[in-house]
Amino acid sequence: MKNEINVLVTGAAGQIGYALLPRLVSGEAFGPNTTVNLKLVEVPQVVDKLQGIIMELEDCGFSSLGTVEAYSDIFEAAHNVDWALLVGSIPRGITINGKKIEERGDLLRINGGIFTDQGKAIGENAKSDAKVLVVGNPANTNALIGMTHAKNPSQTWMAMTALDANRAKAQVSIKTGKAISKIKNMIIWGNHSPTMYPDLDNAYADGEIASTVINDDSWIEEDFLEIVQQRGKAIIDARGASSAASAANGAIDTVKQASNPTEEGNCFSAGILSDGSYGVPEGLIFGYPLKTTREGKIEIIQGLELNNYAKQKLNITISELQEEKEAVKDLI
């Protein structure tokens, strides 16, 4: 682990940002001996509000906290960055120029526009081994746009599906009564959207195949899939706002998983550029089982079995990602 690390966070004044920032500098994410310098990015109308969270970070007294700077210019902020957590984006339902943004296509275009510049800035100014995690939705396609404009293949671009994996692990733990720490190898295939496929035939519950332990196909195919795929909406309905603490936790988990070697027999979940593995067309940001090597490289874990049911599910999420890519084809 490096002694000092520069971390850029966009959307830093948002609700995920509020839950995320203290955990980035508490010593948990990068280890207690690494000083974390934060570069917080917000839109110009909001950037002054960052002074509030900066005061709170100082008041936490974390010994890992280095410098904290607020920016509204992503090109300035991206200089020398080791990690970029791209949380900022425009949520569905917001009104822009008198039009309420409800359609996924409109959302794709607006956020796609944001990620072209963010990609360029990171590609030109961040470190050559920078890791980038896109949280802002539609995360996979935003990551594809950003990565395309970064034009810097030695950097690693990911889209966050760790929250979905954690949601799936929690449901398996509740169903089987096994401790959540014993639920391993939880793969979220595909898009961070309701078409994602959480795979219980390759996950383990206390060392045994999770689907075998559960032994209830109708629960897996109906209840479990529905709960995990629709969890984000269920939280919005219940709390009147989208997941923030658990989303921030997913980002912290991804940072830790992508910074430390993956233990044998386990994986972590994130969207990454598809290279044809598992029959997924090249050139999509696709949720895969990943491992971090001892050299710090992130690789797709190969050789897992997919049954016909899983292949059907993968085809659905592949089609959705292809449609999203088509909708923003002039941006990539």
Our finding on whether 81 is near ligand NAX (CB under 6 A) is no
Our finding on whether 250 is near ligand NAX (CB under 6 A) is yes
Distances (CA, A) of 147 to 144, 265, 288: 5, 29, 17
Residues 260-319 interacting with ligand NAX (rule: CB under 6 A): none
| Beta pairing class for 268-273 and 156-160 | antiparallel
Smallest separation, CB 164 to ligand NAX (Å): 6
Other CB atoms within 10 A of residue 239 CB: 10
79 labelled catalytic: no
Of the candidate residues 13, 77, 290, 318, the single one contacting ligand NAX (CB under 6 A): 13
CB 283 within 8 A of CB 328: no
d(CA 192, CA 187): 12
- Draw the binding track, 113-142, toward ligand NAX (x: CB under 6 A; -: no contact): -x--------------------xxx-x---
Q: By C-beta, is 209 or 244 nearer to ligand NAX?
A: 244
- How many residues of this chain bind ligand NAX (CB under 6 A)? 30
- Draw the binding track, 175-204, toward ligand NAX (x: CB under 6 A; -: no contact): -----------------x------------
d(CA 75, CA 15): 23
Judged by phi (left if over 0) then psi (alpha if -120 to 50, else beta), residue 267 lies in beta
Nearest-Å Rg of the Cα atoms of the chain is: 19
d(CA 274, CA 205): 28
Smallest separation, CB 168 to ligand NAX (Å): 12
Distances (CA, A) of 172 to 117, 205, 217, 230: 40, 8, 13, 16
CA distance from start to end of the chain = 34
Smallest separation, CB 167 to ligand NAX (Å): 9
The span of 143-151, 173-181, 243-251, 310-318 binding ligand NAX (CB under 6 A) equals 243-251
DSSP state of 332: -
Smallest separation, CB 241 to ligand NAX (Å): 7
Our finding on whether 163 is near ligand NAX (CB under 6 A) is yes
Q: Closest by alpha carbon to 289, among 275, 304, 279?
A: 304
Q: Which of 120, 167, 178, 192 is catalytic?
A: 192
Our finding on whether 54 is near ligand NAX (CB under 6 A) is no
Smallest separation, CB 17 to ligand NAX (Å): 6
Residues marked active site are found at 192
Which residues in this chain contact ligand NAX in the complex, by CB under 6 A?
Answer: 10-11, 13-17, 41-43, 46, 87-91, 114, 135-137, 139, 160, 163, 192, 232, 242-244, 247, 250
